[in-house]
A and B are shown apart, each in its own frame.
Chain A
Protein backbone atom coordinates (compact mmCIF):
# COMPACT_ATOMS: atom_id res chain seq x y z
CA UNK A 1 0.00 0.00 0.00
CA UNK A 2 1.24 3.44 -0.87
CA UNK A 3 1.28 6.25 1.65
CA UNK A 4 -1.03 9.26 1.66
CA UNK A 5 -0.55 12.91 2.47
CA UNK A 6 -3.37 15.18 3.65
CA UNK A 7 -4.23 18.60 2.20
CA UNK A 8 -3.27 20.04 5.59
CA UNK A 9 0.27 18.63 5.37
CA UNK A 10 0.60 19.79 1.78
CA UNK A 11 -0.62 23.28 2.73
CA UNK A 12 2.07 23.55 5.43
CA UNK A 13 4.71 22.62 2.87
CA UNK A 14 3.51 25.22 0.39
CA UNK A 15 3.41 27.91 3.05
CA UNK A 16 6.81 26.90 4.49
CA UNK A 17 8.26 26.77 0.96
CA UNK A 18 9.53 23.23 1.33
CA UNK A 19 10.70 21.70 -1.93
CA UNK A 20 7.79 19.61 -3.18
CA UNK A 21 7.48 17.52 -6.33
CA UNK A 22 3.99 16.78 -7.59
CA UNK A 23 2.88 14.38 -10.30
CA UNK A 24 -0.56 15.53 -11.46
CA UNK A 25 -2.31 12.69 -13.28
CA UNK A 26 -5.45 14.56 -14.39
CA UNK A 27 -5.99 15.10 -18.10
CA UNK A 28 -3.98 17.94 -19.57
CA UNK A 29 -6.89 20.35 -20.16
CA UNK A 30 -7.83 20.25 -16.49
CA UNK A 31 -4.20 20.54 -15.47
CA UNK A 32 -3.64 23.59 -17.70
CA UNK A 33 -6.75 25.25 -16.29
CA UNK A 34 -5.80 24.87 -12.66
CA UNK A 35 -3.05 23.23 -10.62
CA UNK A 36 -1.25 23.30 -7.28
CA UNK A 37 1.14 26.22 -7.18
CA UNK A 38 3.83 27.45 -4.83
CA UNK A 39 7.30 28.98 -4.87
CA UNK A 40 8.82 25.65 -3.98
CA UNK A 41 6.37 23.44 -5.87
CA UNK A 42 7.40 21.61 -9.03
CA UNK A 43 4.57 20.01 -10.97
CA UNK A 44 4.72 17.39 -13.70
CA UNK A 45 1.59 16.42 -15.64
CA UNK A 46 1.09 12.90 -17.01
CA UNK A 47 -2.54 11.73 -17.34
CA UNK A 48 -3.23 8.49 -15.47
CA UNK A 49 -4.60 6.81 -18.58
CA UNK A 50 -1.18 7.07 -20.21
CA UNK A 51 0.31 5.12 -17.30
CA UNK A 52 -1.97 2.08 -17.34
CA UNK A 53 0.49 0.06 -19.43
CA UNK A 54 3.41 0.95 -17.22
CA UNK A 55 4.97 3.82 -15.34
CA UNK A 56 8.55 3.32 -16.52
CA UNK A 57 8.31 6.37 -18.80
CA UNK A 58 8.16 8.48 -15.63
CA UNK A 59 11.82 7.74 -14.91
CA UNK A 60 12.65 10.32 -17.60
CA UNK A 61 11.26 12.96 -15.26
CA UNK A 62 11.42 11.47 -11.77
CA UNK A 63 14.13 9.34 -10.19
CA UNK A 64 13.00 6.26 -8.33
CA UNK A 65 14.11 7.40 -4.89
CA UNK A 66 12.80 10.94 -5.26
CA UNK A 67 9.90 12.05 -3.09
CA UNK A 68 6.80 12.61 -5.21
CA UNK A 69 3.18 13.40 -4.39
CA UNK A 70 0.66 12.05 -6.88
CA UNK A 71 -2.47 14.18 -7.35
CA UNK A 72 -5.68 13.67 -9.33
CA UNK A 73 -9.21 15.10 -9.34
CA UNK A 74 -10.67 13.24 -6.37
CA UNK A 75 -8.02 10.85 -5.10
CA UNK A 76 -8.90 7.58 -6.91
CA UNK A 77 -6.53 7.73 -9.83
CA UNK A 78 -3.66 9.11 -7.78
CA UNK A 79 -3.89 6.15 -5.43
CA UNK A 80 -3.84 3.73 -8.36
CA UNK A 81 -0.85 5.47 -9.96
CA UNK A 82 1.01 5.63 -6.62
CA UNK A 83 0.55 1.87 -6.24
CA UNK A 84 1.69 1.20 -9.81
CA UNK A 85 4.77 3.32 -9.12
CA UNK A 86 5.58 1.42 -5.94
CA UNK A 87 5.28 -1.88 -7.78
CA UNK A 88 7.69 -0.49 -10.38
CA UNK A 89 10.26 0.34 -7.71
CA UNK A 90 9.60 4.00 -6.88
CA UNK A 91 10.32 4.16 -3.16
CA UNK A 92 9.07 7.54 -1.97
CA UNK A 93 5.58 7.99 -3.40
CA UNK A 94 2.60 9.63 -1.69
CA UNK A 95 -0.89 10.31 -2.96
CA UNK A 96 -2.89 13.37 -2.01
CA UNK A 97 -6.01 12.37 -0.09
CA UNK A 98 -9.16 13.67 -1.76
CA UNK A 99 -7.26 15.11 -4.73
CA UNK A 100 -7.80 18.57 -6.17
CA UNK A 101 -11.36 18.56 -4.84
CA UNK A 102 -10.10 18.44 -1.26
CA UNK A 103 -7.28 20.85 -2.09
CA UNK A 104 -9.77 23.42 -3.36
CA UNK A 105 -11.64 23.22 -0.04
CA UNK A 106 -8.71 23.40 2.35
CA UNK A 107 -8.49 26.55 4.48
CA UNK A 108 -5.24 27.42 6.21
CA UNK A 109 -5.58 29.92 9.09
CA UNK A 110 -2.75 32.38 9.78
CA UNK A 111 -2.73 34.94 12.57
CA UNK A 112 -2.37 38.43 11.11
CA UNK A 113 -2.21 40.51 14.27
CA UNK A 114 -3.10 41.14 17.86
CA UNK A 115 -5.80 43.75 18.10
CA UNK A 116 -6.72 46.33 20.67
CA UNK A 117 -7.78 44.99 24.07
CA UNK A 118 -6.56 41.41 23.64
CA UNK A 119 -8.34 40.76 20.35
CA UNK A 120 -6.84 39.07 17.31
CA UNK A 121 -7.28 38.91 13.56
CA UNK A 122 -6.87 35.73 11.50
CA UNK A 123 -6.65 35.23 7.76
CA UNK A 124 -7.89 31.95 6.23
CA UNK A 125 -6.15 31.22 2.96
CA UNK A 126 -7.88 28.89 0.56
CA UNK A 127 -4.66 27.91 -1.19
CA UNK A 128 -6.37 25.85 -3.87
CA UNK A 129 -8.47 28.76 -5.06
CA UNK A 130 -6.68 31.89 -3.88
CA UNK A 131 -9.61 33.06 -1.72
CA UNK A 132 -8.91 34.85 1.56
CA UNK A 133 -11.40 35.16 4.41
CA UNK A 134 -11.02 36.61 7.90
CA UNK A 135 -12.02 36.20 11.51
CA UNK A 136 -11.74 39.04 14.02
CA UNK A 137 -11.91 37.92 17.63
CA UNK A 138 -12.45 40.03 20.72
CA UNK A 139 -13.49 38.97 24.20
CA UNK A 140 -15.87 36.07 23.59
CA UNK A 141 -17.11 37.17 20.17
CA UNK A 142 -16.05 36.74 16.58
CA UNK A 143 -16.90 38.32 13.23
CA UNK A 144 -16.19 36.42 10.02
CA UNK A 145 -15.61 38.29 6.76
CA UNK A 146 -16.02 36.83 3.26
CA UNK A 147 -16.58 33.31 4.60
CA UNK A 148 -16.17 30.45 2.16
CA UNK A 149 -18.66 27.59 1.73
CA UNK A 150 -16.82 25.32 4.21
CA UNK A 151 -18.51 26.89 7.24
CA UNK A 152 -17.55 24.05 9.59
CA UNK A 153 -13.93 25.26 9.46
CA UNK A 154 -14.86 28.65 10.94
CA UNK A 155 -17.21 27.06 13.47
CA UNK A 156 -14.51 24.67 14.69
CA UNK A 157 -11.96 27.46 14.86
CA UNK A 158 -14.33 29.65 16.90
CA UNK A 159 -15.02 26.74 19.20
CA UNK A 160 -11.29 26.17 19.76
CA UNK A 161 -10.90 29.83 20.64
CA UNK A 162 -13.95 29.73 22.91
CA UNK A 163 -15.79 32.47 21.03
CA UNK A 164 -19.22 32.83 19.41
CA UNK A 165 -19.62 34.05 15.84
CA UNK A 166 -21.97 37.04 16.17
CA UNK A 167 -21.57 38.59 12.74
CA UNK A 168 -20.75 37.42 9.26
CA UNK A 169 -20.02 40.00 6.57
CA UNK A 170 -19.61 39.77 2.82
CA UNK A 171 -17.77 42.73 1.29
CA UNK A 172 -19.73 42.14 -1.93
CA UNK A 173 -21.90 39.62 -3.73
CA UNK A 174 -19.28 37.03 -4.71
CA UNK A 175 -19.14 35.59 -8.23
CA UNK A 176 -16.14 33.28 -7.97
CA UNK A 177 -17.05 31.22 -4.93
CA UNK A 178 -20.15 30.32 -2.96
CA UNK A 179 -20.42 32.43 0.15
CA UNK A 180 -20.69 30.72 3.52
CA UNK A 181 -21.74 33.94 5.25
CA UNK A 182 -25.47 33.39 5.36
CA UNK A 183 -25.25 29.73 6.37
CA UNK A 184 -22.64 30.45 9.02
CA UNK A 185 -24.84 33.16 10.56
CA UNK A 186 -27.81 30.78 10.55
CA UNK A 187 -25.78 28.10 12.34
CA UNK A 188 -24.41 30.36 15.02
CA UNK A 189 -27.44 32.60 15.52
CA UNK A 190 -25.45 35.55 14.17
CA UNK A 191 -26.29 38.37 11.80
CA UNK A 192 -25.41 38.30 8.10
CA UNK A 193 -24.37 41.65 6.64
CA UNK A 194 -24.31 42.38 2.90
CA UNK A 195 -23.95 45.66 0.98
CA UNK A 196 -27.53 46.69 0.06
CA UNK A 197 -26.62 47.73 -3.49
CA UNK A 198 -25.43 44.17 -4.19
CA UNK A 199 -28.47 42.66 -2.51
CA UNK A 200 -31.27 44.01 -4.73
CA UNK A 201 -32.33 40.56 -5.87
CA UNK A 202 -31.58 38.42 -2.83
CA UNK A 203 -34.29 36.14 -1.52
CA UNK A 204 -33.33 36.21 2.17
CA UNK A 205 -33.12 38.65 5.09
CA UNK A 206 -29.83 40.35 5.77
CA UNK A 207 -28.54 43.40 7.57
CA UNK A 208 -27.45 46.20 5.19
CA UNK A 209 -23.71 46.89 5.38
CA UNK A 210 -23.69 50.69 5.24
CA UNK A 211 -21.03 53.30 5.78
CA UNK A 212 -21.63 54.93 9.16
CA UNK A 213 -23.06 51.82 10.80
CA UNK A 214 -20.03 50.38 12.56
CA UNK A 215 -20.06 46.81 13.82
CA UNK A 216 -18.32 45.96 17.06
CA UNK A 217 -16.63 42.74 18.06
CA UNK A 218 -16.66 42.12 21.78
CA UNK A 219 -18.18 44.79 23.98
CA UNK A 220 -16.79 47.86 22.28
CA UNK A 221 -13.18 46.92 21.81
CA UNK A 222 -12.88 46.25 18.11
CA UNK A 223 -14.51 48.49 15.55
CA UNK A 224 -15.39 47.24 12.08
CA UNK A 225 -16.02 50.29 9.95
CA UNK A 226 -17.69 49.91 6.52
CA UNK A 227 -16.35 52.12 3.72
CA UNK A 228 -18.35 52.23 0.48
CA UNK A 229 -15.90 51.37 -2.30
CA UNK A 230 -17.71 50.32 -5.51
CA UNK A 231 -16.05 49.11 -8.70
CA UNK A 232 -15.81 45.34 -8.55
CA UNK A 233 -19.54 45.34 -7.88
CA UNK A 234 -21.80 48.35 -7.38
CA UNK A 235 -22.13 47.56 -3.67
CA UNK A 236 -18.52 46.61 -2.86
CA UNK A 237 -17.77 47.83 0.65
CA UNK A 238 -14.39 47.75 2.38
CA UNK A 239 -13.93 47.33 6.11
CA UNK A 240 -11.52 49.14 8.36
CA UNK A 241 -10.84 46.99 11.41
CA UNK A 242 -9.40 48.43 14.62
CA UNK A 243 -8.34 51.59 12.70
CA UNK A 244 -5.38 49.62 11.30
CA UNK A 245 -6.50 47.00 8.81
CA UNK A 246 -8.23 47.69 5.48
CA UNK A 247 -10.15 44.69 4.16
CA UNK A 248 -10.48 45.56 0.48
CA UNK A 249 -12.60 42.65 -0.71
CA UNK A 250 -12.12 42.26 -4.47
CA UNK A 251 -11.30 45.93 -5.11
CA UNK A 252 -7.56 45.98 -4.43
CA UNK A 253 -5.15 43.06 -4.22
CA UNK A 254 -1.45 43.02 -3.41
CA UNK A 255 -0.26 42.70 -7.01
CA UNK A 256 -3.35 43.66 -8.98
CA UNK A 257 -6.75 45.34 -8.87
CA UNK A 258 -10.33 44.09 -9.06
CA UNK A 259 -12.28 43.56 -12.26
CA UNK A 260 -15.59 45.31 -12.87
CA UNK A 261 -17.31 42.96 -15.28
CA UNK A 262 -18.66 39.94 -13.43
CA UNK A 263 -22.21 41.22 -13.65
CA UNK A 264 -21.61 42.25 -17.27
CA UNK A 265 -21.03 45.86 -16.24
CA UNK A 266 -17.39 46.57 -17.07
CA UNK A 267 -18.10 49.86 -18.83
CA UNK A 268 -20.49 51.10 -16.15
CA UNK A 269 -18.39 50.18 -13.17
CA UNK A 270 -14.88 51.07 -14.33
CA UNK A 271 -15.48 54.72 -13.31
CA UNK A 272 -16.46 53.61 -9.79
CA UNK A 273 -13.35 51.43 -9.61
CA UNK A 274 -11.19 54.39 -10.63
CA UNK A 275 -12.84 56.65 -8.03
CA UNK A 276 -12.40 54.07 -5.25
CA UNK A 277 -8.75 53.29 -6.02
CA UNK A 278 -7.53 56.76 -6.98
CA UNK A 279 -9.57 58.92 -4.57
CA UNK A 280 -11.37 57.14 -1.75
CA UNK A 281 -8.54 54.83 -0.75
CA UNK A 282 -5.97 57.56 -1.37
CA UNK A 283 -7.61 59.69 1.31
CA UNK A 284 -6.95 56.96 3.88
CA UNK A 285 -3.81 56.58 5.98
CA UNK A 286 -0.85 55.10 4.11
CA UNK A 287 -0.18 53.00 7.17
CA UNK A 288 -3.32 50.91 6.87
CA UNK A 289 -2.53 47.25 6.20
CA UNK A 290 -4.40 46.02 3.13
CA UNK A 291 -5.99 42.59 3.51
CA UNK A 292 -7.64 41.49 0.26
CA UNK A 293 -10.21 38.75 -0.41
CA UNK A 294 -7.96 37.08 -2.99
CA UNK A 295 -4.47 36.57 -4.17
CA UNK A 296 -3.48 35.51 -7.68
CA UNK A 297 0.18 34.67 -7.45
CA UNK A 298 1.92 32.51 -4.90
CA UNK A 299 4.61 35.21 -4.56
CA UNK A 300 1.94 37.21 -2.72
CA UNK A 301 2.13 34.80 0.22
CA UNK A 302 4.48 36.22 2.85
CA UNK A 303 7.00 34.25 4.91
CA UNK A 304 4.29 33.19 7.35
CA UNK A 305 1.80 32.35 4.61
CA UNK A 306 -0.21 35.53 5.02
CA UNK A 307 -1.21 37.93 2.25
CA UNK A 308 -1.00 41.59 3.25
CA UNK A 309 0.64 44.89 2.31
CA UNK A 310 0.86 48.48 3.54
CA UNK A 311 -1.52 50.73 1.57
CA UNK A 312 1.21 53.35 1.03
CA UNK A 313 3.50 50.67 -0.42
CA UNK A 314 0.83 49.54 -2.86
CA UNK A 315 0.55 53.10 -4.17
CA UNK A 316 4.27 52.78 -4.97
CA UNK A 317 4.38 49.36 -6.55
CA UNK A 318 0.97 47.92 -7.51
CA UNK A 319 0.77 48.49 -11.27
CA UNK A 320 -2.99 48.95 -11.16
CA UNK A 321 -2.46 52.07 -9.06
CA UNK A 322 0.12 53.71 -11.33
CA UNK A 323 -2.09 54.71 -14.25
CA UNK A 324 -2.49 58.49 -14.08
CA UNK A 325 -4.46 58.84 -17.30
CA UNK A 326 -8.11 58.00 -16.82
CA UNK A 327 -8.64 56.79 -20.39
CA UNK A 328 -5.56 54.55 -20.17
CA UNK A 329 -6.96 53.09 -16.96
CA UNK A 330 -10.33 52.46 -18.60
CA UNK A 331 -8.63 50.71 -21.53
CA UNK A 332 -6.42 48.62 -19.26
CA UNK A 333 -9.32 47.45 -17.14
CA UNK A 334 -11.87 46.77 -19.86
CA UNK A 335 -9.55 45.32 -22.48
CA UNK A 336 -7.34 43.20 -20.27
CA UNK A 337 -10.05 41.12 -18.66
CA UNK A 338 -9.12 37.49 -18.04
CA UNK A 339 -11.65 34.71 -18.75
CA UNK A 340 -14.60 34.85 -16.36
CA UNK A 341 -14.60 32.38 -13.47
CA UNK A 342 -16.22 29.02 -14.19
CA UNK A 343 -19.96 29.09 -13.51
CA UNK A 344 -19.79 32.67 -12.21
CA UNK A 345 -23.40 33.43 -13.13
CA UNK A 346 -24.69 30.34 -11.30
CA UNK A 347 -22.50 31.20 -8.32
CA UNK A 348 -24.02 34.71 -8.20
CA UNK A 349 -27.53 33.24 -8.38
CA UNK A 350 -26.66 30.86 -5.54
CA UNK A 351 -25.27 33.69 -3.42
CA UNK A 352 -28.50 35.61 -4.03
CA UNK A 353 -30.49 32.62 -2.79
CA UNK A 354 -32.15 32.14 -6.17
CA UNK A 355 -30.53 28.76 -6.69
CA UNK A 356 -29.92 26.12 -4.08
CA UNK A 357 -27.67 23.45 -5.61
CA UNK A 358 -26.80 20.28 -3.72
CA UNK A 359 -23.42 20.08 -1.99
CA UNK A 360 -21.83 18.02 -4.75
CA UNK A 361 -23.02 20.47 -7.40
CA UNK A 362 -21.70 23.41 -5.33
CA UNK A 363 -18.28 21.76 -5.25
CA UNK A 364 -18.28 21.34 -9.00
CA UNK A 365 -19.37 24.93 -9.57
CA UNK A 366 -16.34 26.18 -7.67
CA UNK A 367 -13.71 24.06 -9.40
CA UNK A 368 -10.99 26.16 -10.97
CA UNK A 369 -9.13 29.39 -10.31
CA UNK A 370 -10.84 32.55 -9.07
CA UNK A 371 -9.91 34.99 -11.85
CA UNK A 372 -11.17 38.04 -10.01
CA UNK A 373 -8.28 40.35 -10.79
CA UNK A 374 -7.10 42.55 -13.61
CA UNK A 375 -3.35 42.47 -14.02
CA UNK A 376 -1.92 45.74 -15.23
Chain B
Protein backbone atom coordinates (compact mmCIF):
# COMPACT_ATOMS: atom_id res chain seq x y z
CA UNK B 1 0.00 0.00 0.00
CA UNK B 2 1.36 3.38 -0.95
CA UNK B 3 1.96 6.08 1.61
CA UNK B 4 -0.59 8.90 1.51
CA UNK B 5 0.39 12.36 2.73
CA UNK B 6 -3.23 13.03 3.61
CA UNK B 7 -6.50 11.10 3.82
CA UNK B 8 -9.77 12.79 2.92
CA UNK B 9 -13.00 11.31 4.21
CA UNK B 10 -15.77 12.30 1.77
CA UNK B 11 -18.08 9.43 2.67
CA UNK B 12 -21.77 10.30 2.67
CA UNK B 13 -21.19 13.46 0.64
CA UNK B 14 -23.17 14.01 -2.53
CA UNK B 15 -21.91 15.53 -5.75
CA UNK B 16 -20.26 18.09 -6.05
CA UNK B 17 -18.77 17.91 -2.54
CA UNK B 18 -16.32 14.98 -3.02
CA UNK B 19 -14.56 16.85 -5.83
CA UNK B 20 -14.79 20.23 -4.08
CA UNK B 21 -13.20 18.77 -0.91
CA UNK B 22 -10.60 16.87 -2.90
CA UNK B 23 -9.55 20.01 -4.70
CA UNK B 24 -9.21 21.84 -1.38
CA UNK B 25 -7.21 19.01 0.20
CA UNK B 26 -4.91 18.91 -2.81
CA UNK B 27 -4.01 22.53 -2.21
CA UNK B 28 -2.71 21.55 1.22
CA UNK B 29 -0.22 18.90 0.10
CA UNK B 30 3.04 19.16 -1.83
CA UNK B 31 3.64 18.35 -5.45
CA UNK B 32 4.41 14.64 -5.81
CA UNK B 33 2.54 13.75 -2.59
CA UNK B 34 -0.38 11.40 -2.62
CA UNK B 35 -3.90 12.19 -1.41
CA UNK B 36 -6.12 9.29 -0.43
CA UNK B 37 -9.86 9.96 -0.90
CA UNK B 38 -12.74 7.88 0.48
CA UNK B 39 -16.18 8.48 -1.04
CA UNK B 40 -19.53 6.75 -1.29
CA UNK B 41 -21.12 8.80 -4.07
CA UNK B 42 -21.04 6.63 -7.21
CA UNK B 43 -20.58 9.67 -9.42
CA UNK B 44 -17.28 10.40 -7.68
CA UNK B 45 -15.58 7.70 -9.70
CA UNK B 46 -15.88 9.28 -13.13
CA UNK B 47 -15.78 12.85 -11.82
CA UNK B 48 -12.60 12.44 -9.76
CA UNK B 49 -10.95 10.66 -12.67
CA UNK B 50 -11.90 13.45 -15.08
CA UNK B 51 -10.99 16.16 -12.58
CA UNK B 52 -7.55 14.67 -11.88
CA UNK B 53 -6.88 14.42 -15.60
CA UNK B 54 -7.92 18.02 -16.28
CA UNK B 55 -5.63 19.24 -13.46
CA UNK B 56 -2.69 17.12 -14.61
CA UNK B 57 -2.77 15.02 -11.41
CA UNK B 58 -2.17 11.30 -11.62
CA UNK B 59 -4.80 8.83 -10.41
CA UNK B 60 -2.31 6.25 -9.12
CA UNK B 61 -4.80 3.67 -7.94
CA UNK B 62 -8.42 3.10 -7.02
CA UNK B 63 -10.33 0.44 -5.13
CA UNK B 64 -13.80 -0.38 -3.86
CA UNK B 65 -14.18 -1.85 -0.38
CA UNK B 66 -17.60 -2.41 1.23
CA UNK B 67 -19.29 0.24 -0.94
CA UNK B 68 -16.54 2.76 -0.17
CA UNK B 69 -14.68 4.05 -3.21
CA UNK B 70 -11.00 4.77 -2.55
CA UNK B 71 -8.73 6.85 -4.73
CA UNK B 72 -5.03 7.63 -4.55
CA UNK B 73 -4.16 10.80 -6.42
CA UNK B 74 -0.61 12.12 -6.91
CA UNK B 75 -0.38 15.87 -7.03
CA UNK B 76 1.11 17.38 -10.17
B51/A49 in contact, CB under 8 A: yes
Give complex CA distance A355, B26 in Å. 41
A49/B15 in contact, CB under 8 A: no
A49/B16 in contact, CB under 8 A: yes
A27/B16 in contact, CB under 8 A: no
Number of interface residues of A (CB under 8 A): 16
B42/A49 in contact, CB under 8 A: no
B15/A27 in contact, CB under 8 A: no
Stretch at the interface among A57-65, A73-81, A315-323: A73-81
Instruction: Give residues 315-374 of A contacting B (CB, 8 Å).
Output: 364
Q: Which of B14, B19, B23, B47 has most chain A Cβ within 10 Å?
A: B47
Q: Per-residue CB proximity of B11-36 to A under 8 Å, as 1/0?
A: 00011110110010000000000000
Q: Which of A30, A49, A73, A364 touches B54 (beta carbons < 8 Å)?
A: A49
B43/A49 in contact, CB under 8 A: no
Give complex CA distance A363, B26 in Å. 33
B76 interface contact, C-beta 8 A: no
| A28 contact set on B, CB distance < 8 A | 50
Instruction: Give residues 24-76 of B contacting A (CB, 8 Å).
Output: 42-43, 46-47, 50-51, 54
A30/B15 in contact, CB under 8 A: no
Question: A73 and B50 in contact (CB under 8 A), knowing A52-B20, A52-B23?
Answer: no
Give complex CA distance A364, B19 in Å. 20
| B46 contact set on A, CB distance < 8 A | 27, 29-30
Task: Kindly provide the distance from the CB of A287 to the nearest chain B CB, expressed in whole angstroms.
Answer: 49
| A29 contact set on B, CB distance < 8 A | 46, 50
Give complex CA distance A27, B17 in Å. 15
A49/B23 in contact, CB under 8 A: yes
Give complex CA distance A52, B15 in Å. 13
Instruction: Give residues 28-67 of A contacting B (CB, 8 Å).
Output: 28-30, 47-50, 52
Number of interface residues of B (CB under 8 A): 14
| Complex: chain A residue closest to B19, CB-CB | A49
| B23 contact set on A, CB distance < 8 A | 49, 52
A49/B14 in contact, CB under 8 A: no
Question: A76 and B50 in contact (CB under 8 A), knowing A49-B23, A52-B23?
Answer: no
Give complex CA distance A73, B14 in Å. 11
| Complex: chain B residue closest to A77, CB-CB | B16
Question: A47 and B54 in contact (CB under 8 A), knowing A74-B14, A76-B15, A77-B15?
Answer: yes
Task: Kindly provide the distance from the CB of A227 to the nearest chain B CB, expressed in whole angstroms.
Answer: 42
| B42 contact set on A, CB distance < 8 A | 364
| Complex: chain A residue closest to B53, CB-CB | A27
Task: Kindly provide the distance from the CB of A73 to the nearest chain B CB, expressed in whole angstroms.
Answer: 6
Give complex CA distance A48, B14 in Å. 14
A14 interface contact, C-beta 8 A: no
| Complex: chain B residue closest to A74, CB-CB | B15
A interface residues with partner B (beta carbon < 8 Å):
27-30, 47-50, 52, 72-74, 76-77, 80, 364
Given contact pairs A27-B47, A76-B15, a sample of 8 additional A-B residue pairs in the complex whose CB atoms are under 8 Å apart: A28-B50, A30-B46, A47-B51, A49-B23, A49-B54, A52-B23, A74-B43, A80-B16
B interface residues with partner A (beta carbon < 8 Å):
14-17, 19-20, 23, 42-43, 46-47, 50-51, 54
What are 15 inter-chain pairs, A to B, with CB distance below 8 A? A29-B50, A47-B47, A47-B50, A47-B54, A48-B19, A49-B23, A49-B50, A50-B54, A52-B23, A74-B14, A74-B43, A76-B16, A76-B17, A80-B16, A80-B20
Q: Give me the 10 closest cross-chain CB pairs, A-B, nearest first.
A: A27-B50, A77-B16, A49-B51, A76-B15, A49-B19, A76-B14, A48-B16, A80-B16, A77-B15, A27-B47
